[in-house]
Structure 1
Amino acid sequence: MARIPLRSRAWHGDEQIELPVPDAWHVDILGPADAPELSEEGVRQALSRPHAGPSLTELARGKSTALLVIDDLGRPTPAHRIVPHLLVLLEAAGIGADGISFLVATGSHRQLTHQEAERKLGAHIVARYPVHSHDAFDDDLCDLGRLPSGMPVIVNRRVLDADLVIGVSCILPHTLAGFSGGGKIMLPGCAGILSISELHSFEAKRQRAQVEPSPRRPDARDVIEAFAERAGLAFSVNTVINSRRQVAAIVAGDFRAAHAEAVTRAVEVYRTEVPDELRQTADIVIANGYPLDADPVQVSKSQWPRRLFPQADMILYDPACDGIAYHGWSEFQKASVTNMICGTISEARTDGRYPAPLSALLARPLLRRLGHWRLRAEAERTDVSYRAYREERGTIHTNTIAKRVMAKRARLVICSASFPEWKRVVQFPNSVLLPDWEAVAAAGYLPDEPRRVAVIPCAPLQIPA
């Protein structure tokens, strides 16, 4: 049999695997443009010589405390390669080890365990410095008022207590913000659930990998950056990774300018040529969830190939290693029909989503004010925290009306050892969940007949050209 080489299990071994397929298949592996790994000297120079704004040494001079804000295991950022260089710069500027701490910007994801923090940062870092995981539902949060857009700036107090705040994150295509990274480490990363809910419910969305802002109104990326400025993000480290989850580029400095430049580089690295002829003739598409295959919640980020291959059957290969399908914002949105309806306002404010008259009606400021009042009331009485998930309380494990309405009903084969069956029923009711590749073959989804097959080897990263 022929074999398809893939990377798999980010943060859980980062293995090289091979999927056997029939010899009769004609397989096209559509990899990204990609880039080599950045050397240690390259990392050091990128951090010590920022793309824009003052250097970290200049910013740290005269300060007593620094907070390094990092993303969680739902993102592929190899922080353990970056953080040691930042610590050298901070200590050289006079901030000692007792003045340095870490905050894991989980947004509304779950908190990291001690062992997971060690994977992200390195055991020696976790042993020496305080590391805290943000909790959007039950943390010490501060309300800094509202932005002109109406967004409430509710942020973790640790961000405000630090003299210097540094964000370390990764540039990935993202539906809502266009790309992750930059100010997104603050919103939703360190924000309260009300701010997170308003971002997703009321702000105009950027499409996945959209660089240009909305021409008609401030969009989610604009609001994210305004939130980050008020919260006090002083220095941003934006990584671009390659197909092996290695650092391919780093752009650091002022969070707006550094993010914009990092996006430019990411587009070059993630660009994927997809022939027009293959889009129409492919019989099967195999999308690999690496490097976002540690967290079952991230499977949605591998779904974009469906639009490019309308005639093809889709197989998603995603081990979903941790098996914990928890996402606080998603559960909050789907806890009630009211919360779900509030989300339509962001769709209405997004260009091209709704007919113009309906879009204008739903985007009226009065509806936002009413929606804010309603979401605040819901946030006070709806417990969809990770604690509620663990204790199986509330609506998290219930197939609510909103979940049934918002379920993705396209046919899909999910090959995953750890993706929860209850989550499949709720999110992908027409899908088939099989535990391994042998089971996919046994179920007849790998027919020993001529087939044209497209393989997307690191789907969450890739940007079709």
Structure 2
Amino acid sequence: MLIKFPYGKAEIEVDIPDRNLLSVLESRKIKPPLDSYSTIKNALINPIKHRTLSEVANKANKICIIVSDYTRATPNNLLLPPILKEIEESGKNLESVKVLVANGLHKPAPENELKEILGEKILTQVNVINHDAEDYEALRYVGRTSFGTEVYVNETILDSELIVMTGLIEPHFFAGYSGGRKSILPGVAGRDSIYQNHSYKMIAHPMSRYGVLDGNPIHEDMVEAAEMALKEKGYIVNVVIDKNGKILKTFAGNLIEAHRKGVKYLDSIVKVYTPKPADVVVTTNGGYPLDRDLYQSVKGMATGKSVIRKNGVIIVLSECIDGIGRGHEPFYRLMAEAKTPENVLERIKQEEPIKDQWEAQVLAQILTEAHVILVTRNIKHNVIEEMHIKPASNIEEALEIAKETVGKDSKIISIPEGPYLIPAVSLMFKSPQHNMLRGVND
């Protein structure tokens, strides 16, 4: 069966023999609205558990809009125009607005990436600030969560009377879902706050995984931090998009309630099931921009882990045009300096905090349970091998390595959308061989 997998801004077609194909897991197809502007506008004037954006903007003299950075597919170029229009119609001048890029621990975006993230017109309309988690002169302390996280956030939001947080609601491999509270922590938080939230103990918790909010300590810690920083001045504008990047629905209003409604809607699209685990999973990191580097590609590997048998093979197609990842040398060193994945976990436990330890921890845990093959031409094979991953230049080579590892009669699950899906094994779920399993509700 020919299956298309996103790879960078293109696709790779893969021919998987029918005799081996267990299932193809895909999201439920929904036709996106023709007019995204009207969809966003409607959400702004009909918010969830909140006053309209125009009403709250009218009473605010200083407004901050938090936007996602270059690693996210958030359509800021579509979200910002109706948001700014609502602010102007409330009687406020755009000089009162600052846009804060939520870089988290990522490197601040250069000018060319700001243009890509926001659009050139936005850069001329408002003052844009790059958050830097290392710049403690621009951070302020707001308190300590019940999990022990000392919360430092960018002073821009504390000086503002209204904080609008744009974002994308999608599955997240340890926070459960992106969007909502993640705009604050890790988005505009200080380095040490992020380290504490992403600690070994927090990442190792069994509820810190895709598709889980209740009982997830990372999520709950983020919520506490966000509420401390926002002090009821927050207003989210989050979207759910399809695999082509088109907005399906917009959720605006209350930080918690609007995000929860968005999560429920997303679940109806991306939660899918297979009757048994696979010997081999072929997946991706969702294409551009999430597959820009190996650091982010751990997310696709984590998706594969959800439906792989013990000692099975996870194949991830990821372009990795930025190699290991800009500024993520510590991630490489953590993996490469250890003799085994188990040694990685031991080192993190003993030496934390270490930059990028959470990504290394997730990857190392996957590698203790499965083999991982990375299909890319943008990282030298010896570098990939040093990180305990098997390299392949193309999918055919990867499938051959998998066959040598688990046998020629291995059963394969295909997940073209990678980390944009939440797959699981359900013994109660029966399906024909290589049936398209789309958006089954739990």
Same fold (TM over 0.5): yes
Letter of the aligned partner of 1:290 in structure 2?
A: G
Shift of 1:306: 2.8
* Contact 1:74/1:295 (<8 A) preserved: no
1:238 maps to what in 2?
238
1:464 maps to what in 2?
423
Q: What are the superposed Cα offsets for residues 342-389 of structure 1, whole Å, 9 maximum, x if unpaired?
A: 9769xxxxxxxxxxxxxxxxxxxxxxxxxxxx97xx7xxx8x69xxxx
1:293 maps to what in 2?
291
* Contact 2:25/2:423 (<8 A) preserved: no
* Contact 1:34/1:270 (<8 A) preserved: no
Aligned partner of residue 163 in structure 2, secondary structure: strand
Supply the distance in 2 between the matched residues of 1:109 and 1:148 (Cα, whole angstroms): 26
1:284 maps to what in 2?
280
1:197 maps to what in 2?
195
Aligned partner of residue 30 in structure 1, secondary structure: strand
2:384 maps to what in 1?
424
| Matches for 1:162-181 after TM superposition, within 5 Å | 162-181=160-179
2:440 maps to what in 1?
none
* Contact 1:334/1:340 (<8 A) preserved: no
Q: Does structure 1 residue 4 correspond to structure 2 residue 3?
A: yes
Q: 1:434 aligned to 346, 367, 392, which one?
A: 392
Q: What are the superposed Cα offsets for residues 144-203 of structure 1, whole Å, 9 maximum, x if unpaired?
A: 232344321201112212222111111222243221211111011111111111112265
* Contact 1:71/1:169 (<8 A) preserved: yes
Shift of 1:275: 2.8
Aligned partner of residue 305 in structure 1, secondary structure: helix
Supply the distance in 2 between the matched residues of 1:341 and 1:195 (Cα, whole angstroms): 22
* Contact 2:25/2:415 (<8 A) preserved: yes
Q: 2:185 aligned to 178, 184, 187, which one?
A: 187
Superposition RMSD in Å: 3.7
* Contact 1:22/1:449 (<8 A) preserved: no
User: Normalization by structure 1: what TM-score?
Assistant: 0.75
Q: 2:110 aligned to 94, 104, 113, which one?
A: 113
Shift of 1:261: 0.9
Supply the distance in 2 between the matched residues of 1:452 and 1:125 (Cα, whole angstroms): 49
1:226 maps to what in 2?
224
* Contact 1:325/1:420 (<8 A) preserved: no
1:208 maps to what in 2?
209
Shift of 1:462: 1.0
Shift of 1:286: 0.6
Supply the distance in 1 between the matched residues of 2:139 and 2:60 (Cα, whole angstroms): 23
Supply the distance in 1 between the matched residues of 2:7 and 2:259 (Cα, whole angstroms): 27
The alignment-based identity, stated in percent, is 24
* Contact 1:288/1:458 (<8 A) preserved: yes
Letter of the aligned partner of 1:284 in structure 2?
A: V
1:46 maps to what in 2?
43
Distance 1:82 1:405, change over 3 A: closer
1:129 maps to what in 2?
126
User: Normalization by structure 2: what TM-score?
Assistant: 0.79
Structure 2 stretches of 5 or more lacking a match?
Answer: 339-343, 425-442
| Matches for 1:56-71 after TM superposition, within 5 Å | 56-71=53-68
1:82 maps to what in 2?
79
Aligned partner of residue 274 in structure 2, secondary structure: coil
1:154 maps to what in 2?
152
Runs of 4+ in 1 over 6 A off after TM superposition: 327-330, 339-343, 402-407, 446-450
Supply the distance in 1 between the matched residues of 2:179 and 2:59 (Cα, whole angstroms): 28
Q: What are the superposed Cα offsets for residues 294-313 of structure 1, whole Å, 9 maximum, x if unpaired?
A: 34212121123234221643
Supply the distance in 1 between the matched residues of 2:177 and 2:141 (Cα, whole angstroms): 26
1:361 maps to what in 2?
none
Q: 2:69 aligned to 69, 72, 76, which one?
A: 72
Distance 1:440 1:145, change over 3 A: closer
Supply the distance in 1 between the matched residues of 2:390 and 2:383 (Cα, whole angstroms): 12
Supply the distance in 2 between the matched residues of 1:96 and 1:157 (Cα, whole angstroms): 21
Distance 1:65 1:81, change over 3 A: same
Distance 1:88 1:333, change over 3 A: farther
2:428 maps to what in 1?
none
Distance 1:126 1:5, change over 3 A: same
Supply the distance in 1 between the matched residues of 2:414 and 2:318 (Cα, whole angstroms): 13
Supply the distance in 1 between the matched residues of 2:158 and 2:120 (Cα, whole angstroms): 27
| Matches for 1:334-413 after TM superposition, within 5 Å | 408-409=367-368, 410-413=370-373
1:257 maps to what in 2?
257
Q: Does structure 1 residue 321 correspond to structure 2 residue 280?
A: no
Q: Aligned pairs, how many?
A: 401
Aligned partner of residue 460 in structure 1, secondary structure: helix
Supply the distance in 2 between the matched residues of 1:322 and 1:123 (Cα, whole angstroms): 23
Shift of 1:262: 0.9
Q: What are the superposed Cα offsets for residues 54-76 of structure 1, whole Å, 9 maximum, x if unpaired?
A: 11111101322221111122222
Aligned partner of residue 281 in structure 2, secondary structure: strand
Aligned partner of residue 26 in structure 2, secondary structure: coil
Supply the distance in 1 between the matched residues of 2:43 and 2:167 (Cα, whole angstroms): 14
